[in-house]
Structure formats: C-alpha cells, structure tokens
Amino acid sequence: MAAGTDRPRDRFYNNSKVRSIVWQAVLIICVVGVAWLLARTTAENLARARIASGFGFWNVTAGFDISQTLIEYSASASTFGRAFWVGLLNTLLVAVIGIVGATVLGFLIGIARLSNNWLVARLSTAYVELVRNLPLLLQLLFWYNAVLKTLPDIRDSLHLPLGGFLNNRGLFLPAPVGEGVGVLVWAMLAGIAGAIAVLMMWRRRPHQVRLALAPVALLLPPVAAWFLYGEPTAVEYPELGRFNIRGGIEVLPEFVALTTGLIVYTSAFVAEVVRAGLTAVPKGQVEAAASLGLRRGAALRLIVVPQAMRVIIPPLTNQYLNLTKNSSLAVAIGYPDLVQVFAGTVLNITGQAVEIVIITMGVYLVISLMTSMAMNLYDARLAMTERR
C-alpha cells in the first residue's frame, strides 16, 4: 500500500473529484468576494453622494407628464410606481402590435422568397438583405426624423381610407365610442383566447373539427356581447380643424415610427425563419403526399406546414423576444416605453440607479424566462408526439 500512494494518480490532489470540489470552491470564493467588494464600495459611494437607497421612491409623487398613458396617470397625483406601470404597458402595447405585424409581414415575405415567380422571389430577397443589414436604430431614426417628421402639417393632412388622417403630429383614426366598447374589447380578447385554446389544447379532436370550431370560438364572445349588451357601438370619426384634430384616436408619431421600424426590421428575420422552416421539410414529403393523391393545397396544409411549424416556432419565439427587447430603442425617438419612462426620466429624477436598473432588467428577464419556459413545454410536448 505504501508503494501505491507514490503513484501520481493516487495522490489526493490528482483525484478528479477533489479537484472539481477545489475548483468550484475557488470559484464561489471569488464570486462572493467580488460581489462583497462591489457591494461595499457601492454603499460607500452612495453614502458619499447622499443618494437614498431602497424602494421608498416607488410611492413618491412623480411630477412629470407622460405623452401616452393606457391607464390613468397624472403628473401631480400619480407616483413613480404608477409611471413604471404606464411605461410597462406602453412597452407591451408596442410588443403585441409589433409581433402581430412582423408575423404577418414576415410570413408573406418568407413564402414569397420561395415563390417560383422570379421577380417576387428576387424582390423579397432584396428586402430581407437590405433590412437585415441596417442597424435598427438607424431605421427608427429614419422613420421618425426623415419620414414622419417631414409629413405635411395638420391643414394638409393625408387622408387615409375609412376616415383617418396622417400628418406630422401623428396618426388619427376613427374610434369606437359608446358604453359597450369596454365589454366588447374584453369579449374579443376572450374570443382570441378561446380560439387559441381550441387550436392548441383540444388535441383529441380531429384536425378538421378544431379548424371549424376555432372561428366559432373566436367570434362567439364578441357577437354575444354585442347582442346581449343591446347597445351597438358607434364610430367617432376624427374631424379636421384648422389647428387640431378633434375626436377619434390619436396615435403618437413616435408610436407609429417605433412600430413601423420594429415590424419592418423583425419581419426580415421572421421571413428567414419561415424560409428555413419550409425548406427544412424534405422534398420526399411533398412527393409522397402527391403520390397519395393529395392536391397541392392539401399537401401544404396537412403535410408541409405541420412539419415546418416544428422547425419555425422556437426561432420565431426568439424573434418575438428580440422585438420586445428591441422596443427599448424607443428612447431614441422619445416614445414613453419602460426604458424611456423608468430607466430614463425616473432615474434622472431620483438618481437611484441601482434599484431602477435592476427593476428594469428584471422586467425583461421575467418576460424572457416565461417565454423560454413556455418554449420548453412546447418542445417537451413535441418530443412526446414524436414518440407516439
């Protein structure tokens, strides 16, 4: 035994388990040490600069205005905490509209890239190459400063179909008015949720039943609400005055520029995802479907798209997350999103950088983590259906 201990591999410091524990202990000590040092210096610096710490500012009156508020907010009565929610809701609004727009445009362009029409395929390739190779910030500045700001002023507003106006003060759209609007909006959201539930959850039912039931689930709640409420909503059109526009919905030019920029930028990436997904389905699948006698439409719907979707959905979700994160570039053009309101204005007023940056990052982190959890569930379910 004594001779054995002399062999190098028997020495305790050559044992891989011991080494691994030592390495990890060193890592922990380093990380904790650095964190402690940073925390101490930060506390000293904050004390020296007389910056308060903690989250007390959350309930302090904000005292600044926000140009777009989805919930009630006033400079004199609302708190910094309220401003946070206003900013978060504005971010989510841009994200939702951007995601819908980028999906529609991206799928169209992705499919067009594979078209057997030479011109259409080339045009969509050019679009994707151009948009992907320009920084988003440049595109946003372009939309805002070179397009929206150079539109005619109110008197010479561009007239849009259905009674809308577009000018350098923003986009003015007809608005539904009446007491039923709130109920109707909720009913529509319920309908969308119902349709998604029918499509995603009800796996036992055959494909056709689900496809037939989804529109019913989508339309039933709004239609029912419309009749039950018994008060059809009216539409209020914006009216062009000499110096301003009355009525309707006013959409900020910043919002228009931001959503346009995000939709255009993200759609190019979505198009690439869609193209990759469609080309990932082996040619043999289409040929097999044809030899079974399926028509081209049926082959696409039943054979190609379901297989392509498996490839498309994970990177597509990634693009949705990117869009949400990219919406923070709103700062550049002054759209009041979370970063602009909270990490911009509130930070400047309170000076509590640490807390505010941590909260802002936390919000995006929660969104990301929730999405990737959903993605993992989706992957797990796909893996299961494959085994069956």
Partner 1 sequence: MGAATPIAYVRSRPAERRRPPVSARGPFAWLRQNLFSTPFNAVLTIVAMMALAWLVPPVIRFLLIDAVWVGADREACLAGPDGREVGACWPFVRERIFYFIYGSYPLGERWRVDLFFALFAFGAGWLLWLEAPRRTLGAAYFFVVLPIASFILLSGWPAVGLARVDTALWGGLLVTVVVAAVGIVLSLPLGIVLALGRRSKMPIVKFFSVAFIEFVRGVPLITVLFMASVMLPLFVPPAWSPDKLMRALVGVTVFSAAYMAEVVRAGLAAIPRGQFEAAQALGLSYGRMMRLIVLPQALRITIPNIVNSTVALFKDTTLVFFVGIFDFLRTIEVARADPKWATPVTSATGYAFAALFYFVCCWSMSLYARRLERRLSAGQGR
Report the relative pairing of strands 164-167 and 175-177 from DSSP bridges.
Answer: unpaired
CB-based contact 174:248 (threshold 8 Å): yes
- Parallel/antiparallel/unpaired status of strands 175-177 and 170-173: unpaired
CA-CA distances (angstroms) from residue 43 to 49, 139, 331, 357?
10, 41, 29, 16
Comparing CA positions, the residue from 144, 142, 110, 114 lying closest to residue 127 is: 110
Scan for tokens 């909006």, then name that residue: 185
Which range, of 57-65, 68-76, 137-145, 379-387, touches partner 1 by CB under 8 A? 137-145
238 and 245 in contact (C-beta within 8 Å)?
yes
Q: How far is the CB of 260 from partner 1 (least distance, A)?
A: 15
Q: What dihedral do alpha carbons 316, 322, 323, 328 form, nearest 10°?
A: 170
**239-240 and 245-246 beta bridge pairing:** antiparallel
Instruction: State the virtual CA torsion across 48, 49, 51, 53 in degrees, nearest 10.
Output: -40
Q: Which is nearer to partner 1, 175 or 347 (CB)?
A: 347
The answer to whether residues 143 and 261 touch, using CB atoms and an 8 Å cutoff, is yes
Q: Please select the residue that binds partner 1; options are 92, 97, 120, 245, rule is CB under 8 A.
A: 120
CB of 129 to partner 1, least distance (A): 7
Q: How far apart are CA 148 and CA 160, in angstroms?
A: 15
Contact 50, 352 (CB under 8 A): no
Mapped to the 3 state alphabet, what secondary structure does 115-181 carry? CCCHHHHHHHHHHHHHHHCCCHHHHHHHHHHHHHHHCCCHHHCEEEHHHEEEECCEEEECEEECCCH
Asked if 36 interacts with partner 1 (CB under 8 A), we say no
Which one of 96-104, 112-120, 160-168, 217-225 is the stretch in contact with partner 1 (CB under 8 A)?
112-120
- By beta-carbon proximity to partner 1, the closer residue of 187 and 356 is 356
C-beta of 142 vs 229, nearer to partner 1? 142
Length of the chain: 388
Task: Tell me the closest approach of the beta carbon of residue 91 to partner 1, in angstroms.
Answer: 10
Q: Is 107 left (phi over 0), alpha (psi -120 to 50) or beta?
A: alpha
Q: Of 63-71, 97-105, 140-148, 247-255, which part binds partner 1 (CB under 8 A)?
A: 140-148
Rounded CA gap, 358 and 149, in Å? 34
Interacting positions 277-336 with partner 1 (CB under 8 A): 325-326, 328-329, 331-332
Per CB under 8 A, the segment of 70-78, 196-204, 284-292, 350-358 that binds partner 1 is 350-358
- Our CB check for partner 1 shows the closer of 30 and 193 to be 30
**Minimum distance from residue 373 beta carbon to partner 1 (Å):** 12
Q: In this structure, are residues 167 and 244 in contact, taking their beta carbons and an 8 Å threshold?
A: no
Q: Does 343 bind partner 1 (CB under 8 A)?
A: yes
Binder of partner 1 out of 41, 67, 74, 244 (CB under 8 A): 41
Q: Which amino acid is at 115?
A: S
Q: How far is the CB of 354 from partner 1 (least distance, A)?
A: 6
Among 18, 32, 42, 288, binds partner 1 (CB under 8 A): 42
Q: Is 134 in the site for partner 1 (CB under 8 A)?
A: yes
Nearest approach in angstroms of CB 146 to partner 1 is: 4
CA-CA distance, 293 to 303, in Å (whole number)?
13
Task: Choose which of 29, 32, 36, 45 interacts with partner 1 (CB under 8 A).
Answer: 45
Closest to partner 1 by CB, 44 vs 239, is 44
Tokens in use for 159?
């007239």
Asked if residue 14 binds partner 1 (CB under 8 A), the reply is no
The region of 60-68, 72-80, 188-196, 351-359 touching partner 1 under the rule CB under 8 A is 351-359
The yes or no reply on residue 20 touching partner 1 (CB under 8 A) is yes
Looking at 97-105, 281-289, 363-371, 373-381, which segment touches partner 1 (CB under 8 A)? Answer: 363-371
User: Which position among 32, 201, 290, 354 is part of the footprint of partner 1 (CB under 8 A)?
Assistant: 354
Which parts of 54-73 interact with partner 1 (CB under 8 A)?
none
**Footprint on this chain of partner 1 (rule: CB under 8 A):** 20, 23-24, 27-28, 31, 38, 41-42, 44-46, 48, 115-120, 123, 129-130, 132-138, 141-142, 145-146, 149-150, 325-326, 328-329, 331-332, 339, 343, 347, 353-354, 357, 360-361, 364-365, 367-369
